[in-house]
Amino acid sequence: MAKKPGLGQREISLMGFFGGIIVAVVVSLLDIQGLSPEGRRCLGLSLMAVIFWATKVAHPGYVSVALLTMYIVLGVAPANVTFGLWTKPVVYLVVGGYLIASAVKNSGLGQRIAYQYILRYVSGYTSIVVGAYVLGFLLSFLIPHPWPRSFLIMSVMIGIIKSSGMSKADGANIGLAVFASSAPVSMILLT
């Protein structure tokens, strides 16, 4: 079997590895007016990480840990600033929200609640949009963080959009309503 022309993932990753390092060094050495040496190093390292992520040099988690470590090693920021977020309870609330959303989704509880609501109260386009807000409120008791809750509601709404034969524009508006509702609904219970 003949090999396909073009670059394989290994070659792309290798080019991304060296390209990312070159970009980091060049940006760090540039004299950017109004940006401190630490700021230039931070910008260079951040661009390097983006290149690594885009070219799949390594798993995104490893690239992230390497980026944070390089911030400390190269004196961009001290360790208590770089890893300070992990000492605050808010990050665990977000992680817990995703874990709860995953459990609710995998158990089917979220979909059962959503489908029951839709069967009883949804009769048209407007009621679907209002339903996105109401479902967000109801699920906020189970899923405290708005983004996992919105993704769960959106998975239900996609099924409704597909089964109803809605236009792409109407489906996009419903998707916007689901994510736009996450902020005001979160303010009701302060989740």
- 189 has a pLDDT exceeding 90: no
pLDDT bucket at 47, cuts 50 / 70 / 90: very high
Report the C-alpha gap between 159 and 22 in whole angstroms.
46
Q: What is the pTM of this model?
A: 0.59
DSSP string, 26-83: HHHHS--TT--HHHHHHHHHHHHHHHHHHHTSS-HHHHHHHHHHHHHHTTSS-HHHHS
Report the C-alpha gap between 33 and 98 in whole angstroms.
41
Per domain, the residue ranges of the chain are 9-85, 89-189
pLDDT bucket at 2, cuts 50 / 70 / 90: low
Q: What is the pLDDT of residues 64-121, one digit of tens each?
A: 999 999 999 999 999 999 988 888 887 887 787 778 777 877 887 766 776 777 788 8
DSSP string, 155-177: HHHHHHHHHHT--HHHHHHHHHH
User: Are the beta carbons of 52 and 20 closer than 8 angstroms?
Assistant: yes
